[in-house]
Structure 1
Amino acid sequence: MILDYFKSDESLLVSELELRGIEALRAASERVRERYGFACTRTDEEASRLRQWISRYNSDDTVRVTGPLS
C-alpha cells in the first residue's frame, strides 16, 4: 500500500513527503480496518516517527526516495 504513494529515485519536497506519507499510512490503516474490523495502531507509531524525522528539515527542502521499493 505504501509503495503506491512513492517511486524509487523520486525527488520531492519535505512537505509533500509528509502529506503523502501520512495519507499512505492512513490508507493502510483503513485497509486493515476493512479486513479485520479495527485500525492498525502501528501506522500511528510510524506517522509519529515520520513527523519526528521531518521536523529536522525545512518544509521546502528536497528529499529523494532511495532504495528498492518493490
Structure 2
Amino acid sequence: MPVMHFLIRWPDGVEANCYSPSTIVGEFFAAGESYTVDDFVSRSREALCIGSERVREKYGFACSAALDQLARIEEEASRFREARDARVTVLALD
C-alpha cells in the first residue's frame, strides 16, 4: 500500500512527521492549511482509521502503526485543549 507522511507544526512551534498507511490523508488535509486542534484531531482520527481499515481489507489485520500515530496525535493535542484559538498547520504531505 502507498504510505503517506504529513509534516505538521503544533501551536507551540514543534514540528512532527506523522505516518499514514494510505494516501487518504490527502483527502483530509492540505499542505499550508491550518486547522483548529479539535478539527485536526477529528480529521486525523477519521483518516487514520480509514487507512487502517484499508490495510485490514488488504492484509487481514488493522494497521497498528496508524493507530499508534493517532494515539500520539491525541496525546499531543491534549496539551492545547484549553487554548481555543490554537491551530495545527500541515506543512507538507508526501
- TM-score (norm. length: structure 2): 0.66
- CA-to-partner distance for each residue in 1:3-60, whole Å, 9 max, x for gaps? 2211011121100000000111100000001111111111121111011110111263
CA RMSD of aligned residues (A): 1.4
- TM-score (norm. length: structure 1): 0.86
CA distance in 2, matches of 1:37, 1:63: 33
Q: Which runs of 5+ in 1 are unaligned?
A: none
Secondary structure (helix, strand or coil) at the match of 1:55 reads helix
Aligned to 1:51: 74
What is the identity percentage for the equivalent residue pairs of Structure 1 and Structure 2?
36
Q: Which runs of 5+ in 2 are unaligned?
A: 1-23
CA distance in 1, matches of 2:59, 2:26: 21
Q: How does 1:13-32 map to 2 (within 5 A)?
A: 13-32=36-55
Amino acid paired to 1:13: T
Amino acid paired to 2:37: V
